[in-house]
Amino acid sequence: MSTTAPPAARAMRTPWLPKLVVAPSFALSLFFIYGLILWNGYLSLSASRLLPNYEFVGIEQYLLLWESERFRVALTNMAIFGFLFIGGALAVGLLLAVLLDQKIRAEGVLRTVYLYPMAISFIVTGTAWKWILNPGLGLEHLMQQWGFTGFTFDWLVNPDKAIYCVAIAGVWQSAGFVMALFLAALRGIDDSIIKAAQVDGASLPRIYWRIVLPSLRPVFFSTLMVVSHLAIKSFDLVMALTNGGPGFATDLPATFMYTMAFTRGQIGQGAAAATVMLMLVAAIVVPYLYSELRSNKK
């Protein structure tokens, strides 16, 4: 007669085993994520300059931050870039998803082509678009060689328009990812709903506008969270494409934080800028999580 206990009984005898397995990764995450966030928050309230200095100075670093013209430019650029990047990625991605949802020929090839930019890093994207938009060797140079001698496109070296180049490159990179999310959601909609609407005489654009798109609201908000997060923390794309220039015309909070903390030797202001970025992310994520928790309780 076998005396071996069943698996359920063995699991009941060792309730600590799953916790023991998860404990190291939980502890490391707690330290390297939340612990360093708290440390950064304290540095933003300290007199740190070239090296950490734990002398408490209150909100002095934040006052210096708001008095900085460069940081105000970075926040303005964040608003412009965020609006264009988020709106452009959502609009282009949704349009591509709707077009591919029509079961067109070579759908697999087109889907791969649209998704390809997401497979490369923002560094590669920024470098490629830097070549494309460079007046001396990119689009402007090509058009002039073709005979359009009056054609000019100098946005990359124009301080007033360079931020739009960053937005163009960002939308090109992320639109395919947004398309994939929306396309997966569209393929999950019951075809019988669309067929019933067509039987009632509704046109295809009206069906998408009145029936299909409203049903994508959960996917829309999830995608909005992801793209907004990418916009706020954008760093490598700007560094590869413009390096924050001309001057600091394309600075974003992330590039400002890096410059102050690791180039100018102003760790306190860099930490304050990082804390402001964290607050921007929280301002977007926390209301979304709150609404999700409330909807799940109903």
Return the residue matching tokens 């700007």: 238
Contacts of residue 19, Cβ cutoff 8 Å, sequence gap at least 6: none
Q: What is the pLDDT along the chain (298 residues), one digit of tens a residue?
A: 455 555 555 555 567 777 787 888 888 888 888 888 899 999 999 998 888 888 899 899 999 999 999 999 999 999 999 999 999 999 999 999 988 888 778 788 888 888 888 888 899 999 999 999 998 888 888 898 998 888 888 899 999 999 999 999 999 999 999 999 999 888 888 778 777 877 877 787 888 888 888 888 888 888 988 898 889 889 999 999 999 888 889 999 999 999 998 888 899 999 999 999 989 888 888 887 777 777 766 6
* Cα 21 to the center of its chain, rounded Å: 32
Q: For the chain, what's the residue count? A: 298
- For 134-252, where are the alpha helices, taking DSSP H only? 139-145, 162-187, 191-199, 204-207, 217-232, 236-241
Contacts of residue 128, Cβ cutoff 8 Å, sequence gap at least 6: none
pLDDT at 6: 58
pLDDT over 90, % of the chain = 40
pLDDT at 54: 86
Return the residue matching tokens 């979304």: 288
Residue 214 DSSP code: G
Residues facing 56 on adjacent strands: 46
Domains of the chain: 67-297 (1.10.3720.10)
pLDDT at 115: 86
Any idea what the Cα angle at residue 238 is, between residues 178 and 82, rounded to 5°? 50
Phi-psi region of 243 (alpha: psi -120 to 50; beta: other; left: phi over 0): left
pLDDT at 1: 46
